[in-house]
Amino acid sequence: MGIFGNFFKKIKYAFTKNELNDDFYDELEQTLISSDMGVITSEDIIEEFRAEVKKRMIKDVDNAQKVLREILIDKLKFDEVEFSYPMIITVVGVNGVGKTTSIAKMANYFSKLKKNVMLVAGDTFRAAATEQLDEWATRLKLKIVKQGEGADSASVVFDGISSMKAKKADVLIVDTAGRLHTKVNLMKELEKINNVAHREYPEAKHLNFIVLDASIGQNSLAQVEAFKQSVDIDGIILTKLDGTAKGGVAYPIVKELNVPIVFTGFGETINDLSKFNVEEFVDKILM
Ligand SMILES: Nc1nc2c(ncn2[C@@H]2O[C@H](COP(=O)(O)OP(=O)(O)O)[C@@H](O)[C@H]2O)c(=O)[nH]1
Ligand SMILES: [Mg+2]
Protein backbone atom coordinates (compact mmCIF):
# COMPACT_ATOMS: atom_id res chain seq x y z
CA MET A 1 0.00 0.00 0.00
CA GLY A 2 1.22 3.47 -0.88
CA ILE A 3 1.98 6.33 1.42
CA PHE A 4 -0.88 8.65 2.21
CA GLY A 5 1.27 11.73 2.66
CA ASN A 6 1.58 14.64 4.98
CA PHE A 7 -1.95 14.78 6.33
CA PHE A 8 -1.30 11.61 8.23
CA LYS A 9 2.17 12.60 9.35
CA LYS A 10 0.86 15.83 10.83
CA ILE A 11 -1.85 14.14 12.88
CA LYS A 12 0.56 11.51 14.08
CA TYR A 13 2.95 14.27 15.11
CA ALA A 14 0.32 15.79 17.41
CA PHE A 15 0.29 12.48 19.27
CA THR A 16 3.99 12.55 20.02
CA LYS A 17 3.23 15.08 22.76
CA ASN A 18 2.93 13.55 26.20
CA GLU A 19 0.43 15.83 27.86
CA LEU A 20 -3.28 16.18 27.09
CA ASN A 21 -3.41 19.94 27.68
CA ASP A 22 -4.97 22.88 25.82
CA ASP A 23 -1.93 23.17 23.57
CA PHE A 24 -2.36 19.56 22.52
CA TYR A 25 -6.00 20.05 21.57
CA ASP A 26 -5.38 23.40 19.89
CA GLU A 27 -2.57 22.01 17.81
CA LEU A 28 -4.64 19.01 16.81
CA GLU A 29 -7.53 21.24 15.81
CA GLN A 30 -5.23 23.39 13.68
CA THR A 31 -3.93 20.25 12.02
CA LEU A 32 -7.44 19.10 11.17
CA ILE A 33 -8.35 22.53 9.80
CA SER A 34 -5.18 22.75 7.72
CA SER A 35 -5.97 19.33 6.28
CA ASP A 36 -9.09 20.94 4.78
CA MET A 37 -11.45 19.07 7.03
CA GLY A 38 -13.33 22.36 7.38
CA VAL A 39 -13.45 24.57 10.48
CA ILE A 40 -16.84 23.40 11.72
CA THR A 41 -16.10 19.70 11.31
CA SER A 42 -12.67 20.11 12.93
CA GLU A 43 -14.14 21.96 15.91
CA ASP A 44 -16.89 19.36 16.29
CA ILE A 45 -14.42 16.52 16.25
CA ILE A 46 -12.08 18.13 18.79
CA GLU A 47 -14.98 19.03 21.07
CA GLU A 48 -16.32 15.49 21.01
CA PHE A 49 -12.80 14.13 21.46
CA ARG A 50 -12.12 16.31 24.53
CA ALA A 51 -15.46 15.38 26.09
CA GLU A 52 -14.89 11.69 25.52
CA VAL A 53 -11.36 11.74 26.93
CA LYS A 54 -12.69 13.52 30.02
CA LYS A 55 -15.65 11.18 30.40
CA ARG A 56 -13.46 8.09 30.20
CA MET A 57 -10.88 9.72 32.50
CA ILE A 58 -8.10 9.08 30.04
CA LYS A 59 -4.77 10.57 31.02
CA ASP A 60 -2.35 9.26 28.40
CA VAL A 61 -1.83 10.10 24.77
CA ASP A 62 -1.99 6.48 23.53
CA ASN A 63 -5.47 5.85 24.87
CA ALA A 64 -6.59 9.27 23.71
CA GLN A 65 -5.44 8.33 20.22
CA LYS A 66 -7.77 5.32 20.30
CA VAL A 67 -10.68 7.59 21.17
CA LEU A 68 -9.89 9.93 18.30
CA ARG A 69 -9.73 6.93 15.99
CA GLU A 70 -13.26 5.90 16.97
CA ILE A 71 -14.58 9.42 16.42
CA LEU A 72 -12.85 9.85 13.06
CA ILE A 73 -14.24 6.51 11.86
CA ASP A 74 -17.71 7.30 13.10
CA LYS A 75 -17.76 10.73 11.41
CA LEU A 76 -16.80 9.30 8.03
CA LYS A 77 -19.18 6.33 7.92
CA PHE A 78 -21.56 6.10 4.97
CA ASP A 79 -23.43 3.52 2.93
CA GLU A 80 -21.13 1.88 0.44
CA VAL A 81 -21.78 1.98 -3.29
CA GLU A 82 -22.90 -1.45 -4.48
CA PHE A 83 -21.44 -2.92 -7.63
CA SER A 84 -23.52 -5.21 -9.81
CA TYR A 85 -22.95 -6.43 -13.34
CA PRO A 86 -23.28 -5.48 -16.14
CA MET A 87 -22.18 -2.04 -14.99
CA ILE A 88 -21.41 1.21 -16.79
CA ILE A 89 -19.23 3.68 -14.93
CA THR A 90 -18.96 7.19 -16.35
CA VAL A 91 -16.02 9.12 -14.95
CA VAL A 92 -16.28 12.90 -14.77
CA GLY A 93 -14.18 15.70 -13.32
CA VAL A 94 -12.13 18.72 -14.34
CA ASN A 95 -8.90 18.43 -16.34
CA GLY A 96 -5.86 17.07 -14.60
CA VAL A 97 -7.52 15.57 -11.51
CA GLY A 98 -6.62 12.05 -12.58
CA LYS A 99 -9.65 10.74 -14.49
CA THR A 100 -7.83 8.74 -17.15
CA THR A 101 -5.30 7.34 -14.68
CA SER A 102 -8.07 6.36 -12.25
CA ILE A 103 -9.96 4.65 -15.08
CA ALA A 104 -6.92 2.51 -15.83
CA LYS A 105 -6.57 1.70 -12.12
CA MET A 106 -10.26 0.80 -11.81
CA ALA A 107 -10.07 -1.33 -14.93
CA ASN A 108 -7.21 -3.19 -13.29
CA TYR A 109 -9.20 -3.48 -10.05
CA PHE A 110 -12.23 -5.05 -11.78
CA SER A 111 -10.01 -7.25 -13.98
CA LYS A 112 -8.49 -8.67 -10.81
CA LEU A 113 -12.03 -9.53 -9.69
CA LYS A 114 -12.21 -11.56 -12.92
CA LYS A 115 -14.58 -9.11 -14.54
CA ASN A 116 -14.43 -8.51 -18.25
CA VAL A 117 -13.69 -4.77 -18.55
CA MET A 118 -13.94 -2.49 -21.58
CA LEU A 119 -13.00 1.17 -21.95
CA VAL A 120 -14.64 4.00 -23.87
CA ALA A 121 -12.56 6.98 -24.98
CA GLY A 122 -15.27 9.56 -24.40
CA ASP A 123 -12.86 12.48 -24.05
CA THR A 124 -12.94 13.29 -27.75
CA PHE A 125 -11.87 16.89 -27.26
CA ARG A 126 -8.16 16.17 -27.66
CA ALA A 127 -6.55 13.38 -29.68
CA ALA A 128 -3.98 13.01 -26.88
CA ALA A 129 -6.74 12.02 -24.45
CA THR A 130 -7.75 9.05 -26.57
CA GLU A 131 -4.10 8.10 -27.07
CA GLN A 132 -3.48 8.13 -23.32
CA LEU A 133 -6.41 5.79 -22.65
CA ASP A 134 -5.39 3.66 -25.62
CA GLU A 135 -1.93 3.17 -24.11
CA TRP A 136 -3.46 1.96 -20.85
CA ALA A 137 -5.78 -0.39 -22.77
CA THR A 138 -2.77 -1.89 -24.55
CA ARG A 139 -0.83 -2.32 -21.31
CA LEU A 140 -3.80 -3.88 -19.54
CA LYS A 141 -4.85 -5.91 -22.60
CA LEU A 142 -8.34 -4.44 -22.58
CA LYS A 143 -10.69 -3.66 -25.41
CA ILE A 144 -11.18 0.05 -26.03
CA VAL A 145 -13.85 1.74 -28.11
CA LYS A 146 -12.80 5.02 -29.68
CA GLN A 147 -13.45 7.40 -32.55
CA GLY A 148 -11.52 10.30 -34.02
CA GLU A 149 -10.79 13.66 -32.40
CA GLY A 150 -13.87 15.87 -32.23
CA ALA A 151 -16.28 12.94 -32.47
CA ASP A 152 -19.54 13.14 -30.57
CA SER A 153 -18.75 11.55 -27.23
CA ALA A 154 -22.28 10.19 -26.82
CA SER A 155 -21.87 8.37 -30.11
CA VAL A 156 -18.64 6.77 -28.84
CA VAL A 157 -20.56 5.67 -25.77
CA PHE A 158 -23.30 4.26 -28.01
CA ASP A 159 -20.63 2.20 -29.84
CA GLY A 160 -19.13 1.16 -26.51
CA ILE A 161 -22.42 -0.18 -25.23
CA SER A 162 -23.11 -2.09 -28.47
CA SER A 163 -19.70 -3.67 -28.16
CA MET A 164 -20.18 -4.35 -24.45
CA LYS A 165 -23.43 -6.20 -25.17
CA ALA A 166 -21.95 -8.15 -28.08
CA LYS A 167 -18.96 -9.25 -25.98
CA LYS A 168 -21.06 -9.74 -22.85
CA ALA A 169 -18.62 -7.54 -20.93
CA ASP A 170 -19.21 -6.94 -17.22
CA VAL A 171 -17.88 -3.44 -16.83
CA LEU A 172 -17.72 -0.51 -19.23
CA ILE A 173 -15.74 2.50 -18.04
CA VAL A 174 -16.29 5.77 -19.88
CA ASP A 175 -13.66 8.52 -19.92
CA THR A 176 -14.96 12.06 -20.46
CA ALA A 177 -13.56 15.51 -21.15
CA GLY A 178 -13.01 17.92 -18.27
CA ARG A 179 -12.71 21.33 -19.84
CA LEU A 180 -14.59 23.59 -17.47
CA HIS A 181 -14.10 26.73 -19.55
CA THR A 182 -16.85 25.50 -21.86
CA LYS A 183 -18.89 24.38 -18.89
CA VAL A 184 -22.31 24.56 -20.53
CA ASN A 185 -21.24 22.37 -23.45
CA LEU A 186 -19.46 19.95 -21.18
CA MET A 187 -22.48 19.53 -18.94
CA LYS A 188 -24.78 19.04 -21.94
CA GLU A 189 -22.39 16.44 -23.29
CA LEU A 190 -22.39 14.56 -19.97
CA GLU A 191 -26.18 14.60 -19.82
CA LYS A 192 -26.28 13.22 -23.35
CA ILE A 193 -23.80 10.46 -22.47
CA ASN A 194 -25.94 9.48 -19.47
CA ASN A 195 -29.13 9.52 -21.54
CA VAL A 196 -27.63 7.32 -24.24
CA ALA A 197 -26.26 4.87 -21.67
CA HIS A 198 -29.59 4.53 -19.85
CA ARG A 199 -31.55 4.28 -23.08
CA GLU A 200 -29.24 1.68 -24.68
CA TYR A 201 -28.72 -0.49 -21.63
CA PRO A 202 -31.51 0.07 -19.09
CA GLU A 203 -30.83 -3.27 -17.36
CA ALA A 204 -27.24 -2.32 -16.55
CA LYS A 205 -26.11 -0.69 -13.33
CA HIS A 206 -25.23 2.94 -14.10
CA LEU A 207 -22.83 4.90 -11.95
CA ASN A 208 -21.28 8.34 -12.33
CA PHE A 209 -18.06 8.85 -10.43
CA ILE A 210 -16.41 12.22 -10.02
CA VAL A 211 -12.64 12.35 -9.65
CA LEU A 212 -11.32 14.87 -7.15
CA ASP A 213 -7.69 15.82 -6.60
CA ALA A 214 -7.24 15.74 -2.80
CA SER A 215 -4.50 18.36 -2.99
CA ILE A 216 -7.08 20.91 -4.21
CA GLY A 217 -8.77 20.65 -0.81
CA GLN A 218 -11.97 22.60 -0.21
CA ASN A 219 -12.32 23.67 -3.87
CA SER A 220 -13.28 20.09 -4.60
CA LEU A 221 -16.64 20.78 -2.98
CA ALA A 222 -17.44 23.42 -5.60
CA GLN A 223 -16.47 20.99 -8.36
CA VAL A 224 -18.92 18.40 -7.09
CA GLU A 225 -21.66 21.05 -6.84
CA ALA A 226 -21.00 22.15 -10.43
CA PHE A 227 -21.27 18.63 -11.86
CA LYS A 228 -24.23 17.75 -9.67
CA GLN A 229 -26.27 20.41 -11.44
CA SER A 230 -26.26 18.31 -14.61
CA VAL A 231 -25.68 14.69 -13.66
CA ASP A 232 -26.18 12.48 -10.64
CA ILE A 233 -22.99 11.83 -8.76
CA ASP A 234 -22.94 8.36 -7.23
CA GLY A 235 -19.44 8.31 -5.86
CA ILE A 236 -16.06 9.95 -5.55
CA ILE A 237 -12.60 8.87 -6.49
CA LEU A 238 -10.23 10.88 -4.30
CA THR A 239 -6.81 11.01 -5.97
CA LYS A 240 -3.30 12.24 -5.17
CA LEU A 241 -3.52 11.43 -1.47
CA ASP A 242 0.21 10.77 -1.70
CA GLY A 243 2.07 13.98 -1.02
CA THR A 244 -0.79 16.16 0.14
CA ALA A 245 -1.76 17.44 3.56
CA LYS A 246 -5.34 18.00 2.43
CA GLY A 247 -6.79 14.51 2.82
CA GLY A 248 -9.14 15.78 5.52
CA VAL A 249 -11.36 17.10 2.72
CA ALA A 250 -12.86 13.60 2.72
CA TYR A 251 -14.93 14.70 5.75
CA PRO A 252 -16.82 17.68 4.29
CA ILE A 253 -17.25 15.77 1.02
CA VAL A 254 -19.06 12.96 2.76
CA LYS A 255 -20.82 15.06 5.39
CA GLU A 256 -21.87 18.13 3.41
CA LEU A 257 -22.34 16.68 -0.06
CA ASN A 258 -23.55 13.30 1.09
CA VAL A 259 -21.63 11.51 -1.65
CA PRO A 260 -19.68 8.36 -0.78
CA ILE A 261 -16.00 7.91 -1.55
CA VAL A 262 -15.57 4.76 -3.60
CA PHE A 263 -11.87 4.65 -4.36
CA THR A 264 -8.74 6.46 -3.24
CA GLY A 265 -5.72 7.05 -5.45
CA PHE A 266 -2.25 7.48 -4.00
CA GLY A 267 0.24 7.36 -6.85
CA GLU A 268 0.76 7.22 -10.58
CA THR A 269 1.05 3.49 -11.05
CA ILE A 270 -1.69 1.02 -11.77
CA ASN A 271 -1.88 -0.50 -8.29
CA ASP A 272 -2.04 2.84 -6.47
CA LEU A 273 -5.79 2.58 -5.94
CA SER A 274 -7.79 1.25 -3.01
CA LYS A 275 -11.43 0.53 -2.57
CA PHE A 276 -12.31 3.06 0.12
CA ASN A 277 -12.45 1.62 3.59
CA VAL A 278 -13.11 3.97 6.48
CA GLU A 279 -11.10 2.04 9.10
CA GLU A 280 -8.15 1.73 6.77
CA PHE A 281 -8.34 5.40 5.85
CA VAL A 282 -8.39 6.52 9.48
CA ASP A 283 -5.67 4.08 10.48
CA LYS A 284 -3.44 5.65 7.89
CA ILE A 285 -4.07 8.94 9.68
CA LEU A 286 -3.37 7.72 13.17
CA MET A 287 -1.33 4.57 13.28
N1 LIG B 1 0.81 11.51 -7.39
C2 LIG B 1 -0.30 11.13 -8.03
N3 LIG B 1 -0.48 11.48 -9.31
C4 LIG B 1 -1.62 11.11 -9.94
C5 LIG B 1 -2.62 10.35 -9.28
N6 LIG B 1 -3.63 10.15 -10.16
C7 LIG B 1 -3.26 10.74 -11.32
N8 LIG B 1 -2.04 11.34 -11.20
C9 LIG B 1 -1.29 12.12 -12.20
O10 LIG B 1 -2.02 13.32 -12.50
C11 LIG B 1 -1.81 13.70 -13.86
C12 LIG B 1 -3.15 13.89 -14.57
O13 LIG B 1 -3.80 12.63 -14.64
P14 LIG B 1 -4.85 12.28 -15.76
O15 LIG B 1 -5.33 10.90 -15.46
O16 LIG B 1 -4.30 12.52 -17.12
O17 LIG B 1 -5.98 13.37 -15.44
P18 LIG B 1 -7.29 13.75 -16.27
O19 LIG B 1 -6.97 15.00 -17.03
O20 LIG B 1 -8.33 14.01 -15.23
O21 LIG B 1 -7.63 12.59 -17.14
C22 LIG B 1 -0.96 12.59 -14.47
O23 LIG B 1 0.38 13.01 -14.47
C24 LIG B 1 -1.16 11.41 -13.52
O25 LIG B 1 -0.07 10.53 -13.52
C26 LIG B 1 -2.40 9.99 -7.87
O27 LIG B 1 -3.22 9.34 -7.20
N28 LIG B 1 -1.23 10.40 -7.32
MG1 LIG C 1 -7.92 12.43 -19.21
CATH number of domain containing 44: 1.20.120.140
Please indicate whether residue 226 or residue 6 has the higher confidence score (pLDDT).
Answer: 226
- Report yes or no on 254 lying in a domain: yes
pLDDT per position as a tens digit, 167-187? 999 999 999 999 876 778 889
pLDDT per position as a tens digit, 30-84? 988 988 899 999 999 999 999 999 999 999 988 999 999 999 999 999 999 999 9
Percent of the chain at pLDDT exceeding 70: 95
- Report yes or no on 71 lying in a domain: yes
Q: How many domains does the chain have?
A: 2
Please tell me the predicted confidence (pLDDT) of residue 4: 53
- Report yes or no on 285 lying in a domain: no
| Ligand 1 atom with minimal separation from the 103 CA | 15
CA 106 – CA 99 distance, rounded (Å): 10
Q: Do 171 and 235 have their domain in common?
A: yes
* Structural domain containing residue 10: 6-75
| Ligand 1 atom with minimal separation from the 272 CA | 27
In short, whether 97's Cβ falls inside 6 Å of ligand 1 is yes
Which of the four pLDDT bands, split at 50, 70 and 90, describes residue 149? Answer: confident
- With a cut of 80, say whether residue 6 has pLDDT above it: no
Which of the four pLDDT bands, split at 50, 70 and 90, describes residue 283? Answer: confident
Burial of 150 (0-12, 13-18, 19+ CB in 10 A): exposed
Name the nearest CA neighbour of 31 among 41, 56, 21.
Answer: 41
55 Cβ contact partners less than 8 Å away, ≥ 6 residues apart: none
In short, whether 122's Cβ falls inside 6 Å of ligand 1 is no
Q: Quote the pTM value.
A: 0.93
Distance 11 CA to ligand 1 centre (A): 26
- Report yes or no on 55 lying in a domain: yes
256 Cβ contact partners less than 8 Å away, ≥ 6 residues apart: 38, 221
- Report yes or no on 25 lying in a domain: yes
- With a cut of 70, say whether residue 111 has pLDDT above it: yes
- With a cut of 50, say whether residue 3 has pLDDT above it: no
CATH number of domain containing 151: 3.40.50.300
Where does a domain end: 40, 75, 110?
75
- Report yes or no on 283 lying in a domain: no
